[in-house]
Chains A and B, each alone.
Chain A
Amino acid sequence: MAVAPPVPTSFSGGVEAIVLVMLLTEFAMLRAPLARSQIRLYAFQSLGFSGLAVSVAATQHLDDLYVLAALSFVLKVVVVPSIVLRLLRDARVDLAGSNRLGVASMVLLAIAISVFGFFVVGSLPVHARSLPTATLGLAAAMILVAFLLVILRSDVVSQAVGFFSLENGVSVASLALAARLPLIVEVAFLFDLLVAVVVFGVLMRLHHGRSQTLSTDALDRLRG
């Protein structure tokens, strides 16, 4: 008779639950009809990441991670979402634009691609050291779904949010693999994010200024 696997401890269960909620938020971003709600979901996901960093810092006694958690809270939960929300308010666009697929098919496709990510990561000879094993697979799924968000939603906001949340997925993977990464490297990630915000901000302003829409379907109107 098959034997049931052991029950995870409440720490690893809790950590997995946080990462799962982050992945589910990614799915919610994929289907959110309003640009504003996508950005709020991103802020919520980043909050999850900060919580994750704090819990790893507390259990592994890595003081650097407290700094990372605080920095990413300020940047990703407060600054970046408020900048993008302000840009959106100026643009006066509510709907995040058309999808290339129906919601149910998008979610099914995302499920398929997450399963792929799970199995690929599971077959690699790498193991999460500081977090439970499943978090690495979940982070891979998060990254792949973020790609899908960028590909399937045809508007600038979704592409920006997809890119930002991609960074969240990469950060979770880095926490799982190498929590002892020097702080300077982690902070460099965050500065990359700031650069991306500036780039996407310029893109949103310019695109909206020229074509009065945020949909990338209108990009070909810019041909000279």
Chain B
Amino acid sequence: MAGVELAPTTIQVLQVLTVVIFAPALSGVIARLEARLQGRRGPRVLQPYYDLAKLFRKETLVPQDAGWVFAAGPVVAFMCYLVVPLLIPVLTTFPLPLGYMGDILGGAFILGLAGFAVALAAAETGSPYAQLGSSRAMTFGALIEPSLLFIVFTVALVTATDLPYFQAAATRASLSSTIRPAHLLAALAFFLLVLNDTGRIPVETHASTLEFGMIDEARAFEHSGPLLALLKWGSSMKQLILYVLLINVFAAPWGLAGSRAVGSVLLAIPVLLAKAFGVGAIFTVIDNSFSKLRLFKITEFMAAAFLLAILAVLVLYLGGG
């Protein structure tokens, strides 16, 4: 087909737009599915969009002693989430112009910066629950970091680079490279990492209203109006970004556009969404079949993720697995 080809920059913008536009839909589908599994009818799939629209029309209330950090936090975080889709394979198998701007670690740093900005904004409010949430998020974030580092080491040993595009290509290369033990271990460790970072059971009950069990959710307590909308939108974008990394780098990097033709790039969007909904379904089933760990037992979960990641590196380093 001699169809029209899109400019690389256009595709790159399309990657960002895909994440921005469809992230609330993913949250909506997951919420709906979760409700169905629990025997409820559940909200509309489009409900997150209505929520965002409502919040953007509301006024912003700022706590008495909060400074500019309170307002800047959500905006900085949102901008960080806009940057990450430039670096990772959202729609294409081939790297786009800005794809080499940062590696997996760079992407993780930007996600970490977003988390830091939100935590800072929450700490600025002076509200005990928001501060408790931000301190917990930082603590557990530091505990999960070693696993992330060892996953990056695994990618580096497998591909001799640490670019997500190359890892995706290595996963796609052959069946034996998909089922090699190091890859399976790293993928599993990354799965646990996503479970932690999206605030899912067994780490956190994301739909809970009980403040004492909250980690990420508690941070947005004092924000309202457009700022809260940015936080909510940002956290659903973060969820989609992590799913994209899990799907398009480790688990199933198939169905991406191999050329710049309009048709194949546009087709990659529904394929990606279908895969993301599938992963969301898996997470929902996990959410409904396990119980939340007690706060002081979360370290066991982190230890399990670390075990898998470090075994991946060891198997590669000493056996070429």
User: Are A4 and B318 in contact (CB-based, < 8 A)?
Assistant: no
The answer to whether A5 and B157 touch across the interface, beta carbons within 8 angstroms, is yes
Q: In residues 277-321 of chain B, which contact A (Cβ within 8 Å)?
A: 297, 299-300, 302-304, 306-307, 310-311, 314-316, 318-321
For A27, give its contact among B173, B176, B181, B307 (CB under 8 Å): B307
**Which residues of chain B have C-beta atoms less than 8 A from A137's C-beta?**
314, 318-319
Instruction: Please tell me if the beta carbons of B176 and A8 are within 8 angstroms of each other in the complex.
Output: yes
Interfacial chain A residues near B264, Cβ < 8 Å: none
In the complex, which residues 118-143 of chain A have their Cβ closer than 8 Å to any Cβ of chain B?
A: 118-119, 122, 132-135, 137-138
Chain A contacts of B306 at CB under 8 A? 107-108, 111
Contact A104 B315, beta carbon cutoff 8 Å: no
Contact of B304 among A9, A20, A107, A118 (CB under 8 A): A107
Contact between B160 and A115 (Cβ–Cβ < 8 Å)?
A: no
Q: Which residues of A contact B158 (CB under 8 A)?
A: 4-5
Give Cα A161–Cα B129 distance, bound, in whole angstroms. Answer: 45
A184 contacts the other chain (CB 8 A): no
Query: A107 contacts B300, CB within 8 Å?
Result: yes
Provide the bound-state CA to CA distance between A122 and B318, in Å.
7
Closest A-chain residue to B158, C-beta based?
Answer: A4
Asked if B35 is at the interface of the complex by the 8 Å CB criterion, the answer is: no
In the complex, the answer to whether B185 meets A133 with C-beta atoms within 8 Å is no
A7 to B319, CA, bound (A): 11
Closest residue of chain B to A121, judged by CB? B318
Contact partner, A8, options B173, B180, B310, Cβ 8 Å: B180
Tell me if B318 and A134 are in contact (CB < 8 A): yes
B191 → chain A, closest Cβ, in Å? 15
Main secondary structure, interface of B, reads helix
| CB-based contact A135/B319 at 8 Å | yes
Cβ-defined contact, A118 with B300, below 8 A: no
Q: How far is the CB of A111 from chain B (nearest CB, A)?
A: 6
**Which A1-43 residues have a C-beta within 8 angstroms of B?**
1-10, 12-14, 16-17, 20, 23-24, 27, 31
Q: Answer yes or no: A103 CB below 8 A from chain B CBs.
A: yes
In the complex, the answer to whether A103 meets B159 with C-beta atoms within 8 Å is no
B300 touches A103 (CB 8 A): yes
Whether B310 lies near A115 (C-beta < 8 A) is: yes
| Contacting residues, chain B, for A115 (C-beta < 8 A) | 310, 314
| B142 on interface, CB distance cutoff 8 Å | no
Q: A2-B160, A7-B180, A31-B300 are in contact. Are A134 and B320 (CB under 8 A)?
A: yes
Which B residue's beta carbon lies closest to that of A103? B300
B156 closest partner in A (C-beta): A2
Q: A20–B307 Cα gap in the complex (Å)? A: 11
Chain B residues within an 8 Å CB radius of A119: 318
Nearest chain A CB to B59's CB is how many angstroms away?
45
Number of residue pairs spanning A and B whose beta carbons lie under 8 angstroms apart: 95
Contacts of B320 in A (CB 8 A): 5-6, 8, 132-134
The reply to whether the CB of B177 lies closer than 8 angstroms to some CB of chain A is yes
Shortest Cβ distance from residue A4 to the other chain B in the assembled complex, whole angstroms: 4
Cα A5 to Cα B159 in complex, Å, equals 8
* Residue B207 at the chain A interface, CB threshold 8 Å: no
Q: Is B184 an interface residue (CB 8 A)?
A: yes
Q: Given the complex of chains A and B, what is the CA–CA distance between A6 and B181 in angstroms?
A: 13
Asked whether A13 lies within 8 Å of B176 as measured between CB atoms, the reply is yes
Is A8 touching B160 in the complex (CB atoms < 8 A)? no
A19 to B, closest residue via Cβ: B181
- Whole-angstrom CA separation of A23 from B310 in the bound complex: 13
Q: B4: CB under 8 A from chain A?
A: no
B310 to chain A minimum Cβ distance, whole angstroms, is 6
When C-beta atoms are compared, the residue in chain A nearest to B173 turns out to be: A7
| B160 CB, min distance to chain A CBs, angstroms | 4
Looking across the interface, which residue of chain A has its beta carbon closest to that of B308? A24
Q: How near does chain A come to B307, taking the closest CB pair, in angstroms?
A: 6
The answer to whether B180 touches A3, judged by C-beta atoms less than 8 angstroms apart, is no
- Asked if A104 contacts B300 (CB within 8 A), the reply is yes
B38: interface (CB < 8 Å): no
Taking a contact as CB atoms under 8 Å apart, the answer to whether B179 and A14 are in contact is: yes
Chain A neighbourhood of B318, CB < 8 A: 118-119, 122, 133-134, 137
CB contact under 8 A between A10 and B303, given known A3-B160, A135-B319: no
> For the complex, is B174 an interface residue (Cβ under 8 Å from A)?
yes
Query: Which of chain B's residues have a CB closer than 8 A to the CB of A20?
Result: 181, 185, 311, 315
Q: Which residues of B contact A (CB under 8 A)?
A: 157-160, 170, 173-177, 179-181, 184-185, 297, 299-300, 302-304, 306-307, 310-311, 314-316, 318-321
New contact pairs (19) apart from A13-B176, A104-B300, CB-CB < 8 Å: A4-B158, A5-B316, A7-B174, A8-B176, A8-B320, A12-B321, A16-B181, A102-B299, A103-B300, A104-B299, A108-B303, A114-B311, A114-B314, A115-B310, A118-B318, A119-B318, A133-B320, A134-B318, A134-B320
| A-B residue pairs, 3 tightest by C-beta | A134-B319, A104-B299, A107-B303
